[in-house]
Chains A and B, each alone.
Chain A
Amino acid sequence: MTTLLAFDWILLIEKLILIAIIVFASLGIALYTTFAERKVAAILQDRPGPNRAGPFGLFQPFADGLKLIMKEEIIPNTANKVLFILGPGLAMTAALMTCAVIPWSTSVEFFGRKIDLQIADINIGILYIFGVVSLGVYGIMIGGWASNNKFSLMAALRGASQAISYELAMGLSLIAVLMLSGSLSLKAIVEQQQAPGNLWNIAYQPLGFIIFFICALAECNRTPFDLPEAENELNFGYHQEYSSMKLGFYLFSEYINMIMSSAVMACLFFGGYDIPFFDESTLSPNIAALLGFLALFTKIIIFIFVFMWIRWTIPRFRYDQLMNLGWKRLIPLALFNMLLTGAIILWKQG
């Protein structure tokens, strides 16, 4: 933050370019994640999936997006218009803000300038992610309330309380990781896992990872926690009154959330941009950065695939089951994991 305020114009331009690249790249990846979702669903169900638009159906996401844009934009008469429009925007903003602290790779060198491939290496990176995630609730709540529909309102309350409940367990499961790393900066956590002799955090924190993963599923509204999508038993979610691209924003922000939580999981538990069984320090920094980015990207893709794989395997939870799991199982488990980790750390220190 201090460097940002000092007038280092080149740094400012550099960061702006980086932000633009990352935002547009995440939008593009999210676009293709929708395609991947349909394709993975199809393959898991012995179907070919979308294959008409372009080679292998690769233009399908554009067709989908075009369809959403061309649809009639409906704002209910009794809706609160400002907030109705603000809701999807907030959801999208909160989803995209997460990418600021994710270390996409090490630094590259251009014309003698060292450029970090991370927008901001703040020393409270993880807390920042939590802050942003907790703000994501507002997109849901405002959208659901502004629709002025009792079903949307109930669904918004449901969605918000789901997000809040699982945020707790998520935070508690993370504390164990933070105990190991001793830092809140994502970059420091990744570098620590990368250091020779250190294993990835998944080796030390398998239980923590499972809890975090389940909570990530719930935070992204993915199956088995996709209550907002329960159109037949719960009359849809908070986006019931939405149509056209405003609905698209809500759906899109979910996909971006999925990408970002995959990135966070990769950084926290799977070594981020670390390439397994390989020493990057032998390579030149630029190539190492590129390979590191590819490694992180591969990990993200694998996580996204697992998210989808789970979606097409497990049925939806009932709302009370969801709450029971969150409050009565995951939070005590996360606390236990935290205590265990603390005890082992103390025992190791002697």
Chain B
Amino acid sequence: MTNDNIMQALTNRSKAVDRAPMTFMERLYIPSILKGMAITFSHIFKKQPTIQYPEQKREFSPVFRGLHVLNRDEEGRERCTACGLCAVACPAEAITMEAAERLPGEENKYREEKYAAKYEINMLRCIFCGLCEEACPKDAIYLSETFAPANFARKGFIYGKEDLLIPDPVTDAAGFEKAQGGRVRNKN
């Protein structure tokens, strides 16, 4: 083949089409049918790659980017300061937020003087690129190892703060640990 000289074959699996007329044995078809049946029969003994979904779950890769989580620090204070960098970074414009000022006596709830009173991510718009996570200067948002479950209505996919916020490590340490997904994220 002339093609081979010009182009380096990527694999050695390519095969030239054989257009020779079929021999008598080939035209009987029965041997080739038996051959095919042997192949299908051998599949009975193959291992099934099926994962029984609700009981078994596929392992996510460590770089999987799933649902967002709004992080807290060790004392259970929200990290987010509503700076809006994530919303700016978001290419899909899925993030909206409203800022509010921390009142005296709320120091145990919010880490900085300013916090997000409303924080919404539209999961239908989100492309799970992870740019919000990279943009965040306070490590307040990161993408977890879960994905958005199915819903009957569109509005069910607009996740509010209560859906995104991580469990409080002071009151619910196990939930906090689980939501962090075993990933070490304490950069500061």
The answer to whether A and B touch in the complex, with CB atoms under 8 Å apart, is yes
Interface residues in B, total, Cβ within 8 A: 15
Of B40-48, B59-67, B136-144, the one contacting chain A is B40-48
Q: A314-B33, A314-B36 are in contact. Are A309 and B48 (CB under 8 A)?
A: no
Give the chain A neighbours of B48 by CB distance below 8 A.
46-48
From 37 to 86 in chain A, residues with beta carbon under 8 angstroms from any chain B beta carbon are 43-48
Nearest neighbor of A312 in chain B, beta-carbon distance: B40
B: residues with CB less than 8 A from A are 30, 33, 36-37, 39-41, 43-44, 46-50, 52
User: What are the 4 closest A-B residue pairs judged by CB atoms, nearest first?
Assistant: A313-B40, A44-B40, A313-B36, A313-B37
Give the contact-size bracket for chain A.
Answer: 10 to 19
The total of interchain contacts (Cβ-Cβ below 8 angstroms) comes to: 31
Determine if A310 is an interface residue (Cβ-Cβ < 8 Å): yes
The answer for the CA separation of A45 and B46 in the assembled complex, in Å, is 9
**Pairwise interchain contact A309-B40, C-beta atoms closer than 8 A:** yes
**Pairwise interchain contact B44-A43, C-beta atoms closer than 8 A:** yes
Give the chain B neighbours of A48 by CB distance below 8 A.
48, 50, 52
The listed residue (A44, A47, A309) touching B50 by CB distance below 8 A is A47
A: residues with CB less than 8 A from B are 43-48, 210, 309-310, 312-314
Nearest neighbor of A224 in chain B, beta-carbon distance: B33
Q: List 12 A-B contacts (CB under 8 A).
A: A43-B43, A43-B44, A44-B44, A45-B43, A46-B43, A46-B49, A47-B50, A48-B50, A309-B37, A312-B40, A313-B36, A314-B36
The listed residue (B30, B43, B49, B52) touching A44 by CB distance below 8 A is B43
The answer for the CA separation of A312 and B33 in the assembled complex, in Å, is 12
**Pairwise interchain contact A46-B40, C-beta atoms closer than 8 A:** no
The answer for the CA separation of A327 and B57 in the assembled complex, in Å, is 54
The answer for the CA separation of A314 and B40 in the assembled complex, in Å, is 10
Nearest neighbor of A310 in chain B, beta-carbon distance: B37
The answer for the CA separation of A341 and B40 in the assembled complex, in Å, is 35
Give the chain B neighbours of A309 by CB distance below 8 A.
37, 40-41
